[in-house]
Structure 1
Amino acid sequence: MLASRKGGSHAEESAEVEVLFANMEKMRGLTRKIQGSLNRLDQSGKAVQEAVGPIYGNTQRLQTANKNIDRVIEAIERVQAPRDQTNREEHIIQAGPRNGDLRDYMASLDRSTQTLSELKRSNLRANQTAIGDLSALIKYGTKQLEDVFRDLLREASAYPVDPLEYVVKNKLFPVLPSDKASTLRLIHQHISESSSTLQEGREASTQRIYAEIRGEFIMNSLRTLAMSTLTSVKKKSPDAIYQQGTNGIGIYAQGLEGLVSAEYESLCPIFPRDDWARVITATCQPALGEFSKTLRELNGHIQKNLLTDCFLAFEVVGVVSALSLRLETKTMELKHLIADSVKPIRETAKASLGKLLEDTRTRVNTLVALPMDGAAVPVTSDTMTRLHNMAAYLEPLASIMRSLGPGGWTSQSGASFDVGADGKKLFADYAAETIDTLLQNLEGKARLLLKGKSLQGVFLANNVAIVDRMVRSEDLRPLLKGLGGKIDAWRKKSTAMYMEAWREPSAFLLDVQYTNRSRPQSGGGALDSAALIKSLGSKEKDAIKEKFKNFNTSFDELVSRHKSYKMERDVRIQLGREVQSILEPLYGRFWDKYHEIDKGKGKYVKYDKNVLGSTLASLAS
């Protein structure tokens, strides 16, 4: 039974194995069929690829060709577009800016300029002809705009202004109207852009045109002032001293400044800031050239009349130097041009300082006679008047003297320039040297031509008084207050010379004092002249009488001489008081002792103390 169960189990397993093998055989057959199908499909794919491949390649080439054709068409259109654009703009530009709206004309020129820029960037050989044509069209259009720019400026500059009217009435000088300035600015901008695109490598022509037209306008406006400046310098008398303000240079400078300032205000809205200095300099060149020419002619006149018209040189230096500083804000170039124009006159002004000193010395030394009454000579007042006139030009003079340095007005001086030097002190030094030169030479001339120290002293004192009076004048006092000591020294010297003659009568009033003799006194303690005379011997009495007689003679002569002299009022007062202060005490003492010598008869004692005092007092009146 067990054996039968084992046998049945084995039979079942065998059956399952057979079924498995049968399925595997079916799977192999199916795999073979699938492989065969794949092989056939692969063969079919290759056949399809071989058939379709050429068609796909042709399609890609056709797509590339189409793209290239589109690009060529676009390129042709781009090449054709500027030509079409040129044709459209040419009609507007050739018509000119005056036959239509100016802004439309400039817009057309702008479009043409933009097109030219694009053509140059394309770098296509086919565009070279178009570039040439368009460049020529833009140049033509720019030239037309230049003509409009020029015409607008000529219209605004047709009539010169009268600067004198604006200066005298203190009115602002006229500027270009704002509407014209606005139009001029637009034209300048378009011409500048066109010039840049054309690569001409030069400044916009509008700057040159502006400088030419407005420069001529300024020059013509100033022509009358230039002529009047030269006319007003003519002298009616060769010896006439130039009077401040009589020449037209001050008005001329104000007119120039007003026109330049107005022109600067006019051009600023038209041109870029970087161009302002260049344009105003170019514009003002003609007027500044005429200004320099006028100054050169003035300088020639001054050099021919140096001693009388050097003051005009001082005035010109002051006026022009101040003008150059005021115009410094406009442009440094203008400042330098104006400063350079006055250099010749400045050198003449420098030279005049030494010439004036030499003239003072020469005028004194060439005197062949001096006033016999001791009066001052004209050279003194003339010299001091020069200093007085020079004080009116202190600012330019200070600048000139600083450039010469202390004492630099003499050729022997080795002075150096000191920009920080005190101009007032330098003027005071120059005045002191002038006064010393004058008085030293006058003293020497007096010793040579005048007889007697008394007359010499009066002469010198009169001249010193005139000097002192001028130094104390309102204009000179603040500048020359340090010269008081120098003038006092000259005054003392002249007084000492004059007092030499008064030594003689003073000497007659000196007597010998005998210490071993008692002096008779009156009851009140006063000197008793009668008792004193009584105590003298006859020889001593005769000597006293002789002293009185000699005193009277000498005194009367000197009083007469004193009154015959022509003295400045303060000199007469000063010298009279000096005589009185010395002689009156001496005579009073002598009279107190010896007036009883003639017992009141007046034979020897001509003057009592009161009469003498009155006589001496009259010397100062």
Structure 2
Amino acid sequence: MVVPRKGGAYAEESAEVEVLFANMEKMKGLTKKIQGSLNRLETSGKTVQDSIGPIYGNTQRLQVTNTNIDRVIDAIDKLRAPVDQTNREERIIRAGPRKADLRDYFASLDRTTLALSDLKRSNLRSNQQAVTELSGLLKLGTKQLEDVFRDILRDSSARTVEPLEYVAKNNPFPVIAEKDISTLRSINSHISNSFKQLAQQGNPETPTQRIYADIRGDYIMSSLRTLAAASINTARKVTADAIYKPGTNGISMYAQGMEGLFLAEYENVCPIFAREEWGTVYTATCMSSLGEFSKTLRELNGHIQKNMMTDCFLGYEIVDIVARLSIQLETKTGELKRPIYDTMKPIRETSKLSLGKLLDDTRARAQALVALPGDGAAVPLTTETMVRLQTMTNYLSPLSSIMTSLGDGGWKTTNPAASSNSSLPTMKAFDVGADGKQLFAHYASDTIDMLLQNFEAKSRLLLKSKSLQGVFLTNNVAIVDRMIRSSELQPLMASYAGKLEAWRKKGTAMYLDAWREPSAYLLDVQYTNRNARPQSSSANATDSVAIVKGLSSKDKDAIKEKFKNFNTSFEELLSKHKSYKLEREVRTQLGREVQTIIEPLYGRFWDRYHEIDKGKGKYVKFDKGQLTAALTSLS
């Protein structure tokens, strides 16, 4: 039956539910027990925390206290350290560098310098006493090293050198021994480090810089003293009017000696001092010598000003030498260009002034002439003026620089120094290119033009005949031309040839003016409406006979008078010509000019009329051959 089966299934499921309810009751009981255990554990934890809390707090406070104690101990050690270090380094430093190994001494100074730096950085009041003591100790140590530095330099500078020996043999100048260089470098390094801790702001010069500049500066100056004296002595003139010759003065040797010593000193400075100190130390070391050099140049400038017309060339030489020296040292060391250049500024100004003075002197001497040679000879002033210009070609480099600063024609101003501002020379200033040569050519042209213009004016005033004036002017032109051609002026004054030729033509024309008279006597009147006559070019006696026969009595007398007047005038001019003092080329030139004019005129006249006296020589004194011989003798 179905019902019983259903009843059995429900009974089984009901049993399972009852089991589940029983398990749930057990879980509830277990949960209550766990909750009770948790409550009891929480209560116990609170009890433990309340018991341990005070103990943990005490432990933390003890740890802080312990840390503070350690810090106090460290502070006490730090406070005691400077005192201990001062005591330790003091023994080494006070013993001095001479009684100990320098390396130990340097190490002690290094430690002292470092300690002082640390103390200053800490800025603790308690350390001020230690700072003072360490500073004093460092000063003492530095002072003792300065003494050693000074002694080494004095020993190496005890014997001055004779620069002339090294210059003459082209030998390098001596430098400080390598061993001493090494010691000086170490001392300078340590003193520089100490100086940074001790020095006041605004005082960058270290003691070693000052000591080095003083001792080595005296050494260089003493070594150059003889050359300075020689430069002054060699400037003294034996002959008052002697023109200065290149290289006569000792200034060149002086400059070479200075260059050698300065370059050697630069080799000393570089390994001893730091790179940023080279320029300062090197310049300071050389300044005393440059002061003496400047003094010497001022004395030479005074000498040049007193002997401007003859010794201005010494000024040009000095400008050249000093300018080159400044550039060479600047190229090799990077220093001293301006200080060296400044030493010769007075002489440069004097040299600029001299260009105008030379022109004024030439003009004044030409205008001061109260008499000119009666034979038309050139005056010595021409040769003297040309010698000046020839001598100036030896100084084209400095003159190029000087004339460039004056500007073209600036030498004519009364105040050349104000015409332009002088500037430092450059390498281009020593390249005498087209500009420099052109400026000098203009100056020389101005000089010669001014000279010849004054000669022309003076000859018109002092010489009676125009012919003699022409001889005088042509003679002087010939000397100018000859002295240009035979010297370095030739390539420089090529452009002046045209002007000089114009002067020559002017003088020649003045001379030939006297020959117009005999030339006029050789001109006759021909009438085209008369009967045909023999050709004048015929040299046959028959032609002359026919011509003379065809003349009227009056015309014959006129021809006879022409021959007589020609003979008188010609012989007189021959005599005068031979009485003139003519330069070789002038005699040749003027003789040819006269022959060119007279010979064809006389030949024509003679061909036509030589039969006027039938060969007796009463009127026709010269035949064509004799005239040619007479004219040839003029050359």
The two structures have a TM-score, normalised by structure 1, of: 0.91
Identity percentage over the alignment? 64
Report the counterpart of residue 476 of structure 2 in structure 1.
463
Q: CA 1:39 to 1:486, structure 2 compared with 1: closer, same or farther past 3 Å?
A: closer
Equivalent residue of 2:626, what SS?
A: helix
Distance (Å, rounded) in 2 between the aligned partners of 1:426 and 1:524: 59
Residues 202-244 of structure 1: CA deviation (Å, up to 9, x unaligned): 3322111111111111111111111111111111222221111
Equivalent AA in structure 2 for residue 463 of structure 1: N
Q: 1:407–1:415: 8 Å Cα contact kept in structure 2?
A: no
Q: 1:317–1:396: 8 Å Cα contact kept in structure 2?
A: yes
Equivalent residue of 2:336, what SS?
A: helix
The two structures have a TM-score, normalised by structure 2, of: 0.89
Q: CA 1:25 to 1:405, structure 2 compared with 1: closer, same or farther past 3 Å?
A: closer
* Among 511, 529, 549, the residue aligned to 1:498: 511
* 1:236-247 matches, cutoff 5 A: 236-247=238-249
* Residues 1:300 and 2:302 aligned together: yes
Report the counterpart of residue 378 of structure 2 in structure 1.
376
* Residues 1:510 and 2:512 aligned together: no
Q: CA 1:195 to 1:307, structure 2 compared with 1: closer, same or farther past 3 Å?
A: same
Q: Which runs of 5+ in 1 are unaligned?
A: none
Structure 1 residues 64-73 or 136-145, which shifts more? 64-73
Report the counterpart of residue 607 of structure 1 in structure 2.
622
Distance (Å, rounded) in 2 between the aligned partners of 1:567 and 1:22: 166
* Residues 1:120 and 2:135 aligned together: no
Report the counterpart of residue 478 of structure 1 in structure 2.
491
Structure 1 residues 218-227 or 520-529, which shifts more? 520-529
How much has 1:64 moved relative to structure 2? 2.5
How much has 1:50 moved relative to structure 2? 4.8
Report the counterpart of residue 161 of structure 1 in structure 2.
161
Residues 436-486 of structure 1: CA deviation (Å, up to 9, x unaligned): 111111111111111211111111111110011112123100111111111
Distance (Å, rounded) in 1 between the aligned partners of 2:87 and 2:167: 56
How much has 1:598 moved relative to structure 2? 2.1
How much has 1:51 moved relative to structure 2? 4.8
Report the counterpart of residue 489 of structure 1 in structure 2.
502
Report the counterpart of residue 174 of structure 2 in structure 1.
174
Residues 127-171 of structure 1: CA deviation (Å, up to 9, x unaligned): 222221111111111111111111111111111111111111111
Distance (Å, rounded) in 2 between the aligned partners of 1:393 and 1:522: 63
Q: 1:544–1:597: 8 Å Cα contact kept in structure 2?
A: yes
Residues 523-554 of structure 1: CA deviation (Å, up to 9, x unaligned): 99846312222222322222222222221111
Q: CA 1:45 to 1:239, structure 2 compared with 1: closer, same or farther past 3 Å?
A: same
Distance (Å, rounded) in 1 between the aligned partners of 2:271 and 2:289: 22
How much has 1:66 moved relative to structure 2? 2.2
Equivalent AA in structure 1 for residue 98 of structure 2: R
Report the counterpart of residue 352 of structure 1 in structure 2.
354
Equivalent AA in structure 1 for residue 457 of structure 2: G
Give the total of aligned pairs.
Answer: 611
Report the counterpart of residue 453 of structure 1 in structure 2.
466
Q: Which runs of 5+ in 2 are unaligned?
A: 423-428
Distance (Å, rounded) in 1 between the aligned partners of 2:505 and 2:489: 22
Q: 2:138–2:194: 8 Å Cα contact kept in structure 1?
A: yes
* Among 321, 343, 346, the residue aligned to 2:345: 343
Equivalent residue of 1:392, what SS?
A: helix
Distance (Å, rounded) in 1 between the aligned partners of 2:24 and 2:405: 133
Equivalent residue of 1:368, what SS?
A: coil
Q: 1:175–1:266: 8 Å Cα contact kept in structure 2?
A: yes
How much has 1:564 moved relative to structure 2? 1.0
How much has 1:109 moved relative to structure 2? 0.7
* Residues 1:141 and 2:154 aligned together: no
How much has 1:312 moved relative to structure 2? 1.2
How much has 1:37 moved relative to structure 2? 7.5
* 1:19-98 matches, cutoff 5 A: 49-98=49-98
What do you get for the CA RMSD once the two structures are aligned? Answer: 3.0
Equivalent AA in structure 2 for residue 478 of structure 1: P
Distance (Å, rounded) in 2 between the aligned partners of 1:434 and 1:27: 142
Equivalent AA in structure 2 for residue 384 of structure 1: M
Distance (Å, rounded) in 2 between the aligned partners of 1:115 and 1:284: 38
Report the counterpart of residue 566 of structure 1 in structure 2.
581
Structure 1 residues 528-537 or 209-218, which shifts more? 528-537
Residues 230-266 of structure 1: CA deviation (Å, up to 9, x unaligned): 1111112222211111111111111111111111121
Q: CA 1:476 to 1:27, structure 2 compared with 1: closer, same or farther past 3 Å?
A: closer
Report the counterpart of residue 233 of structure 1 in structure 2.
235
How much has 1:65 moved relative to structure 2? 2.1
* 1:186-265 matches, cutoff 5 A: 186-198=186-198, 200-201=200-201, 202-203=203-204, 204-265=206-267
Distance (Å, rounded) in 1 between the aligned partners of 2:535 and 2:292: 95
Residues 316-346 of structure 1: CA deviation (Å, up to 9, x unaligned): 1111111111122256651111112211111
Q: 1:292–1:342: 8 Å Cα contact kept in structure 2?
A: yes
How much has 1:270 moved relative to structure 2? 1.4
Equivalent AA in structure 1 for residue 360 of structure 2: E
Report the counterpart of residue 581 of structure 1 in structure 2.
596
Report the counterpart of residue 288 of structure 2 in structure 1.
286
Distance (Å, rounded) in 2 between the aligned partners of 1:351 and 1:219: 31
